[in-house]
Amino acid sequence: MGLLDTLKRPRTAKQQAGDAAEDTARRYLEARGMSLQERNFRCKGGELDLVMQEGKTLVFVEVRQRSGDGFGGAAASVTPHKQRRLIVAAHVYLQRYTMPPPCRFDIVAIDNGRISWIRDAFGA
């Protein structure tokens, strides 16, 4: 264990649950032919949980998990405000490309262990 490892704060239970949900979503999408390009891309404007590739399309995936059905479930938690933050982060991510590929926003919602994949959930 290096010095940087000892300086890192321990992950909270909520963060560990989020990491596990992202792992579940990644495996689910990879089993359906997608490949991981990047995980937890962070910038000043927001964060992208998973950046996946499907054919020539770059897919920005928001992963949401809920243990209960209250408040509309996991997918409903991707509010218009959250969508704007995802769009900002995607714009920053795409700056690395001279010619950005086609892209879309998907949501992987995990409700009580049940996975729902919402392709092209919203537009930029």
CATH at residue 56: 3.40.1350.10
Strand order in the sheet with 35-43: 35-43, 46-54, 57-66, 103-111, 114-122
Predicted TM-score (pTM) of the model is 0.88
Written as six digits, the tokens of 3 are 């010095």
Residue 5 is assigned to a structural domain of this protein: no
Residue 74 is assigned to a structural domain of this protein: yes
- What is the rounded distance in angstroms from the CA atom of residue 33 to the CA atom of residue 92? 26
Tally the domains of the chain.
1
Q: Who contacts 71 (Cβ-Cβ below 8 Å, separation ≥6)?
A: 77
pLDDT tens digits, one per residue of 13-66? 887 878 889 999 999 999 999 999 999 999 998 999 999 999 999 999 999 998
Residue 52 is assigned to a structural domain of this protein: yes
Residue ranges making up the domain that contains 91: 35-122
